[in-house]
Amino acid sequence: MSLTPRHHRTAHPTVTEVLEAADHMTAEELDRAPYGMIQLDATGRILHYNAVESKLASLSREDAIGKQFFTEVAPCTKVQDFYGRFKEGVIRESLDTSFRFHFAFKQNPRDVTVRLLYSKRTRTVWVLIADQEGQPLTSESTPADG
């Protein structure tokens, strides 16, 4: 599923467009999304982890998939503002919220906008990471490796 028509390749899809399409996207399509994208099961285990998020967190997809997001991958997120919202959304099977968050990465700490969306179709939660203003993480705003 393509997010943008071929003749509009320079236009970034909106957060809402990406999230509405996420359940149907292949891993390659998720990698092309201009946002960090993480799919979590109801326990917080990582099911999908895209290339933008891998670069942002300096963590390979192979090292992220199957791990517990809130304890093994990003323990700084195990706070009420993030984990609490996730847990409540899973229990209610309804979640669509955005908030600012500070990722205290050792190499590239940064302030971002997080959007959590519960998918009734897959019974999972999508975590979408955008820049501080909620815009796509372009190559200029994504930290370089190393």
In this prediction the pTM is 0.84
What integer pLDDT is reported at residue 138 of this predicted model? 63
- 140 strand-pairing partners: none
Distances (CA, A) of 25 to 18, 87, 141: 9, 24, 24
Non-local CB neighbours of 126 within 8 Å, separated by 6+ positions: 19, 22, 37, 38, 39, 40, 115, 116, 117, 119
What integer pLDDT is reported at residue 39 of this predicted model? 97
Location of structure tokens 């963590």 = 59
Fold classification of 6-130 (topology level): Beta-Lactamase (3.30.450)
- Return per-residue pLDDT of the chain as tens, 146 residues: 444 443 344 466 777 888 889 999 999 999 999 999 999 999 999 999 999 999 988 899 999 999 999 999 999 999 999 999 999 999 999 999 999 999 877 777 889 999 999 999 999 999 999 998 888 886 444 443 33
What integer pLDDT is reported at residue 137 of this predicted model? 81
Helices (H), 23-77: 27-32, 51-57, 61-64
Q: What is the DSSP letter of 80?
A: I
What integer pLDDT is reported at residue 44 of this predicted model? 98
